[in-house]
Structures are given as C-alpha cells and as structure tokens.
Amino acid sequence: MILNGKILSEKRLELLTEEIKESGIRPCLATVLVGDDPASHMYVRMKHKACEKVGITSVGAELPVEATTAEVLAAVEKFNKDPKVSGILVQLPLPPQVDTQAVIDAVSPEKDVDGFHPTSIGRLYSGHPKLVPCTPQGIMTMLAEHGIELAGKNAVVVGRSVDVGRPMAALLLNADATVTICHSKTQNLPAIMQQADILVSGIGKARFVTPEMVKEGAVVIDVGINHDENGKLCGDVDFDAVVEKASAITPVPGGVGPMTIATLMENTLKAAQAMSCNPAQ
C-alpha cells in the first residue's frame, strides 16, 4: 500500500474549508520570517497560499537578515497581543545571531501552531496534547486514515529532533506503541530497525534505509527530504527497493510533506476554536 499524502491532504483541506465556512470562526495565521533564505521564503509563501485556499486569513512580518533577538521577539509579541491572530508560526531556521529558543519560548502557547513551545511539548509528553508539531501529527493522521493499528506494535523512530523525531515518538507512545528512538550515536542501528513494525525515518540522508534494515511487512514512513547525487529529490528510504518488503510506505515527494501543511491549517483552526471558547486569551 502506498500512503499517498498528496491525495489525503487535499481531502483534509477540502473538509477543513467546509468546517471553517460553517464554523463562523475567522482563523488567522501570522508568520514571522527573518532573512532572505529562498527556501524559507518559499515555505512561507506555500503556507500563506494554503491559508487562502481554506479560508484562513494570513498576515506576515518580514525582518532583515541582520535582525536582533529583540526585534524578532517584538514581532512575536505584536502577534501574541493581536486578538485577530489565532496562530503564530516562526519560520526556522533563524539567523545565527537570533536566540531561537528565546523566540520559541515567547510564542503564546495558545497560538503555538507549530507545537514547539515547551508547554506544547510538555503537554504532548504528559499524554495531554493540544497543539502538536505538524509533521508527526500529519503522519498520525495518515496512519489513522489507512486503519494502521499502532497499539502494542514495535515502533522505531530514527532521528530525535524537536520538530520530527521526539514528537513522533511521543505520539506513537500515546497511541500505545512500544517506541525506540534512534540517533547518530545509536549502536547496531540496522538490528534495531529490523525489529520495527512501524519504522519512521527522519534523518535527512538520501536513501539511507535499505531493505536489509526493514522487517518484512513493516509500515515505513519516510520524513526525509533530500537530493541524491544527481540532484533528484528523494527521501531517507531507498523507495524502489524497500517497497517490495513494506506492507505500507510513503513516497517522497507526495507522502509526509503535503500532510505537514494540511496539519498546520488544522492546528490554526484548532487554536482559533479554543480562543473563541475563551476570548480572554
């Protein structure tokens, strides 16, 4: 089974458009973009475009590459205080002179649609999530939509970043899987990966995951976005070889990526709904 994130995300966005229309709520996503990295500009443009598609208003603050931490904090604070703004997204990475953690900490947890604030992370790890990082939440949606059972399964997550590996592991644990987190210092990595009923790779290495590392019938989720030696876009998984062994697998492109942006839209509506129940926020 190929887990097609493009089709599923389009379906989710259509449902979301209806839900927003019927809710009478006007969600608004605010983005903070610092510097002139072309990829960051492209990601922010894509997010604004997705907002427009589903009926979410969007606003953006753009700061120059030499912006200070205080200037970025001021942009975040302005959106924290704006009652029309329901979600705030700071496009990462920030330039090196900016204290990234201070900026993440400054986002109001109620508007933390990226789910990176320590409050959001703590809620997720304590089993009471509210706003969850979009990529792993999108993967959970995908697994649920395809009826993939997680309870009691061995899940192996390769990668321990704050945006992918750690929240992915917490979500799988919350869904009653038995979870192992691996990283660059893990010993006997292939042997651990071979035990996985659910294998999630988020390491950023082109075609790193080969069939020898995959158990027959495993569900393989490829988060990686890489370019191979010929400049071709590919994931962490050697798709053509692993597809023979997996019971379900995500392609790159068209797998996890589109689900991430759909989940950002869902998180923005969720934050707006919570605010409309408690306007004091």
Catalytic center residues: 47, 91, 114
Closer by beta carbon to ligand NAP, 21 or else 45: 45
Nearer to ligand NAP, 161 or 195 (CB): 161
CB of 184 to ligand NAP, least distance (A): 3
Among positions 58, 135, 141, 250, the unique one binding ligand NAP when judged by CB under 6 A: 135
Q: Does residue 225 touch ligand NAP according to CB under 6 A?
A: yes
Closer residue to ligand NAP in complex, CB, 129/255 = 255
CB of 189 to ligand NAP, least distance (A): 6
Q: Does the footprint of ligand NAP cover residue 199 (CB under 6 A)?
A: no
Q: In which residue are the tokens 């789910």 written?
A: 115
CB-based contact 154:172 (threshold 8 Å): no
Report CA-CA distances (Å) from 91 to 111, 131, 196: 14, 17, 33
| 133 binds ligand NAP per the rule CB under 6 A | no
With beta carbons less than 8 A apart as the criterion, state whether 34 and 95 touch: yes
The whole-angstrom separation of Cα 275 and Cα 281 is 6
Q: Who contacts 53 (Cβ-Cβ below 8 Å, separation ≥6)?
A: 13, 17
Q: Does 185 bind ligand NAP (CB under 6 A)?
A: yes
Q: What CA–CA distance (Å, rounded) separates 118 from 105?
A: 7
Burial of residue 277 (CB within 10 Å: 0-12, 13-18, 19+) is: exposed
Of 143 and 275, which has the nearer Cβ to ligand NAP? 143
Q: Which of 97, 101, 184, 247 binds ligand NAP (CB under 6 A)?
A: 184
